[in-house]
């Protein structure tokens, strides 16, 4: 009898061990990761390093894993959105405007920069000994922009050139460096007569590079800072949950620590997306820049 009882107990335990993984999986399925797309001119390895603390924080805040993906270019981002390979994404205000126009974006938050504003301005700079003091003197010259899809790196300064009567595509030699430090070095070394970038980015770069030989000859009108959008197909409750986590980062010690590490990205904190302000400013620049 005892032998029989031990046999039954052994079989029961073995059956329990066999079934427990399946039962655990059924009771607590692993949630699908939220895919965060970062559209940037930086190398993918650098993007992952810069955004991993943010991703870890967001994952804990919403109780769901978040993974980084790096679409290379606006068309690829749209493709990823259509294919469900991106759930939320961080882009500049110009690309957010374009994505929303195509019905591919539901903006949920916006970056407030280190100056405490959701607006910024671009600058045009030259060598101090170049003898150039205004935009009209750059006709026919090489001008370094950061990216043809940039808000502060192209849209805003291009609008400034057009307001000065210079059609950059026809009346300057446009070049795109894809890199802030490259733009600065192009001017320092004489490979370009002028370069443009966000004024706050120039200030941050001046903390690492010697820009004492450069001078600013023009400042653009305001452009809106970067924004975070959601795939329009995302569940509304999840979208709201993510928005709350993003805009509440600065209210927690862990969130403030992550934000402090995003200083080189100009990020002070994230605030709710102001569609009226952002899209009015962007629309005006697009019109002025003849984009």
Question: What does the pLDDT profile of the chain (291 residues) look like in tens digits?
Answer: 455 445 544 444 454 444 455 444 445 566 789 999 999 888 899 999 999 999 999 999 999 999 999 999 999 999 999 999 999 999 999 999 999 999 999 999 999 999 999 999 999 999 999 999 999 999 999 999 999 999 999 999 999 999 999 999 999 999 999 999 999 999 999 999 999 999 999 999 999 999 999 999 999 999 999 999 999 999 999 999 999 999 999 999 999 999 999 999 999 999 999 999 999 999 999 999 999
Asked if residue 196 lies in contact with residue 144, where contact means CB atoms within 8 angstroms, the answer is yes
Question: Would you say domain 34-114+225-274 falls under CATH 3.30.1050.10?
Answer: no
In 3D, which of 149, 145, 157 has the Cα closest to residue 74? 149
In the chain, where the domains are located: 34-114+225-274, 119-224
Sheet holding 267-272, edge to edge: 66-69, 34-38, 88-91, 227-230, 106-113, 267-272
In sequence order, what are the residues at sequence separation of 6 or more whose Cβ sits closer than 8 angstroms to the Cβ of residue 112?
118, 225, 267, 268, 269, 270, 271
Q: Do domains 34-114+225-274 and 119-224 have the same CATH topology?
A: yes
According to the CATH classification, is domain 119-224 in 3.40.190.10?
A: yes
Contact 270, 249 (CB under 8 A): yes
pTM over 0.85: yes
């Amino acid at each position: 009898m005892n032998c029989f009882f031990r046999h039954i107990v052994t079989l029961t335990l073995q059956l329990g061990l066999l079934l427990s993984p399946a039962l655990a999986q059924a009771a607590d399925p692993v949630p699908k990761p939220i895919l965060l797309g970062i559209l940037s001119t930086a190398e993918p390895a650098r993007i992952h390093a810069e955004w991993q603390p943010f991703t870890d924080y967001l994952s804990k805040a919403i109780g769901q894993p978040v993974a980084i993906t790096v679409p290379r270019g606006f068309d690829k981002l749209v493709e990823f959105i259509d294919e469900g390979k991106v759930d939320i994404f961080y882009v500049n205000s110009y690309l957010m405007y374009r994505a929303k126009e195509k019905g591919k974006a539901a903006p949920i938050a916006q970056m407030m920069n280190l100056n405490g504003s959701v607006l910024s301005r671009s600058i045009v700079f030259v060598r101090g000994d170049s003898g150039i003091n205004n935009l009209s003197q750059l006709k026919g010259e090489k001008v370094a922009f950061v990216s043809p899809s940039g808000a502060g790196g192209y849209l805003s300064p291009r609008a400034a050139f057009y307001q000065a009567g210079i059609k950059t595509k026809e009346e300057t030699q446009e070049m795109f460096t894809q890199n802030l430090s490259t733009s600065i070095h192009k001017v320092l070394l004489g490979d370009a007569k002028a370069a443009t970038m966000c004024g706050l980015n120039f200030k941050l770069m001046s903390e690492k590079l010697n820009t004492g030989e450069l001078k600013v000859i023009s400042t653009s009108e305001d452009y809106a800072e970067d924004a975070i959008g959601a795939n329009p197909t995302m569940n509304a409750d999840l979208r709201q949950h993510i928005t709350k986590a993003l805009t509440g980062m600065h209210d927690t010690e862990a969130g403030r620590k992550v934000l402090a590490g995003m200083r080189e990205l100009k990020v002070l904190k994230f605030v709710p997306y102001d569609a009226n302000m952002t899209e009015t400013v962007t629309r005006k620049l697009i019109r002025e820049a003849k984009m």
